[in-house]
């Protein structure tokens, strides 16, 4: 399996490094999400469709 390359999510915003989420979209057919404070911790792997649905649901919460 290819190695995920994580970047800080645009949803992280300006929270001074607190509660950061990192997302990797470099592996075809997968979107990986992790807590930036736990880089060696668990990784949630979603399909791109599930990730898009999750992102769309965030706009409903605001």
Segment 27-48, tens digit of pLDDT: 999 999 999 888 889 999 999 9
β-strand 21-24 against 31-35: which pairing, if any?
antiparallel
- 30: in domain: yes
Global confidence as pTM: 0.76
Contacts 24+ apart (CB under 8 A), 54-59: 55/11, 58/11
- 31: in domain: yes
- 19: in domain: yes
Structural domain for 13, as ranges: 7-61
- 1: in domain: no
- 17: in domain: yes
pLDDT of residue 34: 93
Query: Does residue 62 carry a pLDDT above 80?
Result: no
Q: Which residue has the higher pLDDT, 16 or 6?
A: 6
- 2: in domain: no
Query: How many separate domains does the chain show?
Result: 1
């Amino acid at each position: 399996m290819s190695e995920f390359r994580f970047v800080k999510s645009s949803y992280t915003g300006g929270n001074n490094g607190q509660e950061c989420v990192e997302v990797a979209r470099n592996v075809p057919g997968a979107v990986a999400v992790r807590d930036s404070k736990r880089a060696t911790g668990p990784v949630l792997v979603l399909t791109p469709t599930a990730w898009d649905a999750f992102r769309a649901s965030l706009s409903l919460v605001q």
